């Protein structure tokens, strides 16, 4: 693999983001996605496929699942000598504190950032799902002579979706005039994908400037302020894009991929999404199984009915059980004749006594990890 002139940073969300239920157990990057992936597989695979072989992953709290999943990084196809995936923790103990933001994490590790050999940095979030060749982003950035290039996605449903996401105001030349928040006031918006391309030195200066001005400034805050002085430009992303900053977003983004055309656009043979194997065997479908329009992972035993759902690894669905429009995470068990609709079952949940678990399409019912119902 050739390597490019940029290193990668996979960033953590700031503390305004909290996904009900799921995030109590792991950071968003470690959320299961489409059964066999975790969200963080997407930014890391994008970087690996873009020939970026030095990657820093920032972890704020509950690092176990991310540390276990990323491991040595070998499964992300990164050369184990030339390349490296580093997990960087912010030591700030109060993880929910307003001070514990991305800038404070970068500042704590600024010496490591400054020592990187690469001239450029690509920063991508661990809480969004999309496919992007960063070589193209970097090429455009360098050719334009801009100081900072930001990745954005044009949407026409910003009234209902992408609430609280950052937005970009662009001029005709794709110059970024400011970064704002989506308050759901208009349908057409340029959603900022929290993805940055700039020189490493520019990045270091921004981090220092942010902390100098205010200890609660985030990277997007300081870039917004610097829009006046620096040449900040937008780069439009096309294709599937999802933000996973609320339980509803997670639910909708997952089920949207049940449209196989959308899913096969995100997963292309020439752009593999790597993940850590768990060595589970194939899934067994029994005589009484009825499965339609669903993604099913390996290691499951299916006797019941599954419709429009995403089934994680090693899930057991007994006879007569019916799962509709739901996400069932790994190793959950649904006993006989139980009906589940519009729900998210977390890992190791065991549904025995509850006859029905019914949520609404716009308000999925969440069942806790290892809960027995």
Residues in contact with other proteins by the rule CB under 8 A: 34-36, 74-75, 260, 263-264, 267, 272-275, 277, 279-287, 289-299, 301, 306, 311
Half-sphere exposure of 21 (CA within 13 A, CB side): 21
Smaller CB distance to other proteins: residue 44 or 148? 44
Q: What are phi and psi of 363, to 5 degrees?
A: -150, 75
Residue 260 tokens, joined: 């196989």
Closest CA to 103 of 185, 186, 225, 5: 225
Minimum distance from residue 219 beta carbon to other proteins (Å): 31
Residue 240 tokens, joined: 């599937």
Smaller CB distance to other proteins: residue 158 or 311? 311
- 32, 329 contact by CB (below 8 A): yes
Minimum distance from residue 313 beta carbon to other proteins (Å): 9
Q: Count Cβ atoms below 10 Å from residue 355 Cβ, excluding itself.
A: 8
- 330, 353 contact by CB (below 8 A): no
**How far apart (Å, rounded) are the C-alpha atoms in residues 233 and 194?**
13
Residue 334 tokens, joined: 């649904």
Minimum distance from residue 302 beta carbon to other proteins (Å): 9
**How far apart (Å, rounded) are the C-alpha atoms in residues 150 and 176?**
8
Smaller CB distance to other proteins: residue 165 or 322? 322
**How far apart (Å, rounded) are the C-alpha atoms in residues 276 and 68?**
9
Minimum distance from residue 43 beta carbon to other proteins (Å): 15
Smaller CB distance to other proteins: residue 230 or 301? 301
Minimum distance from residue 273 beta carbon to other proteins (Å): 6
Minimum distance from residue 279 beta carbon to other proteins (Å): 5
**How far apart (Å, rounded) are the C-alpha atoms in residues 212 and 210?**
5
Smaller CB distance to other proteins: residue 206 or 322? 322
Minimum distance from residue 47 beta carbon to other proteins (Å): 15
Smaller CB distance to other proteins: residue 99 or 286? 286
Smaller CB distance to other proteins: residue 184 or 272? 272
Task: Give every CB contact of residue 287 below 8 A, 6+ residues apart in sequence.
Answer: 303
Three-state DSSP state, 178: strand
**How far apart (Å, rounded) are the C-alpha atoms in residues 213 and 230?**
17
**How far apart (Å, rounded) are the C-alpha atoms in residues 12 and 8?**
13
Minimum distance from residue 303 beta carbon to other proteins (Å): 9
Smaller CB distance to other proteins: residue 1 or 98? 1
């Amino acid at each position: 693999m050739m390597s490019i002139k940029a290193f990668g940073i996979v960033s953590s969300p700031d503390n305004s983001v909290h996904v009900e239920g799921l995030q109590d157990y792991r950071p968003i990057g470690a959320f299961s996605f489409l059964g066999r992936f975790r969200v963080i597989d997407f930014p890391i695979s994008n970087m690996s496929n873009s020939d970026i072989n030095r990657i820093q992953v920032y972890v704020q709290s509950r690092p176990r699942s991310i540390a276990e999943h990323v491991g040595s990084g070998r499964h992300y196809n990164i050369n184990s000598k030339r390349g490296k995936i580093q997990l960087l923790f912010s030591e700030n103990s109060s993880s929910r504190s307003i001070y514990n933001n991305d800038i404070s994490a970068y500042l704590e590790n600024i010496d490591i950032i400054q020592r990187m050999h690469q001239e450029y940095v690509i920063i991508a979030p661990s809480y969004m799902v999309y496919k992007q060749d960063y070589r193209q982003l970097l090429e455009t950035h360098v050719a334009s002579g801009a100081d900072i290039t930001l990745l954005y996605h044009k949407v026409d449903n910003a009234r209902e979706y992408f609430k609280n996401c950052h937005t970009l105001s662009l001029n005709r030349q794709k110059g970024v005039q400011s970064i704002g928040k989506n308050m759901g006031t208009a349908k057409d918006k340029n959603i900022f994908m929290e993805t940055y391309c700039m020189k490493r030195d520019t990045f270091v200066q921004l981090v220092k400037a942010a902390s100098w001005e205010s200890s609660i400034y985030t990277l997007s805050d300081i870039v917004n302020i610097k829009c006046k002085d620096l040449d900040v430009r937008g780069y439009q992303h096309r294709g599937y894009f999802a933000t996973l900053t609320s339980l509803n977003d997670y639910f909708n983004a997952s089920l949207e991929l049940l449209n196989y055309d959308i899913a096969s656009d995100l997963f292309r043979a020439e752009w593999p999404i790597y993940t850590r194997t768990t060595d589970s065997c194939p899934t067994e479908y029994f005589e009484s199984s009825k499965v339609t329009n669903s993604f099913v992972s390996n290691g499951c035993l299916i006797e019941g009915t599954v419709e429009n759902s995403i089934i994680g690894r090693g899930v057991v669905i007994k006879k007569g059980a019916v799962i509709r429009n739901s996400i069932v995470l790994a190793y959950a068990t649904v006993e006989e004749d139980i009906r589940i609709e519009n729900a998210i079952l977390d890992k190791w949940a065991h549904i025995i006594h509850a006859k029905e678990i019914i949520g609404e399409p716009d308000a999925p019912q969440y069942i806790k990890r290892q809960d027995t119902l």
